[in-house]
Amino acid sequence: MQRRASAIWQGGLKDGKGTITTHSGILKQTQYSFATRFENGIGTNPEELLAAAHAGCFAMALSNELGSAGMIPKKIEATVTISLEKVEEGFSITKSHIDLVADIPGAAEDKFHKAVKAAETGCPVSKLFKAEISVSARLIK
């Protein structure tokens, strides 16, 4: 299975602008720029898209792990914060933190946390990152 997206960039780093398009068409010439990445401009940026990908992947992986443990979630809400920081070599994505709230009626706390850990390390997007990945999880029963 392969998924595709493309980016077009025009101009210099600070005064240029770009668009991102996904093969599915859900993003079609979506604007990104220096301002959307390092300031508060209108549009998206690579880190926001990585955060969305990690949140979606982790939620699905957790659902799978919970199902394997006999728990069916009513709702999984995963919010990911990607940290882009200036380091000696330039900029680097240093962390991906997942804030998780899971509504799982009748869930066993120990099985829940075991499923969270398995999803944290087993999600394909987690495997892609070389950055620190952490999860703050809260269970609603």
Q: What is the CATH number of the domain that holds 88?
A: 3.30.300.20
Share of the chain above pLDDT 70, in %: 100
pLDDT score for 89: 85
Residues 34, 77, single domain; the answer is no
pLDDT at site 67? 96
- pLDDT tens, position by position, 51-69: 999 999 999 999 999 999 9
For residues 73 and 108, membership in a common domain is answered with yes
Q: What is the pLDDT of residue 45?
A: 92
pTM value? Answer: 0.90
33 and 78 both lie in a single domain: no
Owning domain of residue 121: 46-140
Domain count, the chain: 2
Please check the confidence at residue 16 and state whether its pLDDT lies above 90. yes
State the Cα torsion 52-55-59-61 to the nearest 10°.
100
Predicted confidence (pLDDT) per residue in 83-129, tens digit: 999 899 888 899 999 999 999 999 999 999 999 999 999 999 999 88
What pLDDT was estimated at residue 124?
93
Q: Does residue 130 surpass a pLDDT of 90?
A: no
Name residues whose C-beta falls within 8 Å of residue 50's C-beta, 6 or more positions apart in sequence: 82, 93, 96, 125
Average pLDDT, the chain: 93
Q: What's the pLDDT score for residue 36?
A: 92
Indicate if 131 and 71 belong to the same structural domain: yes
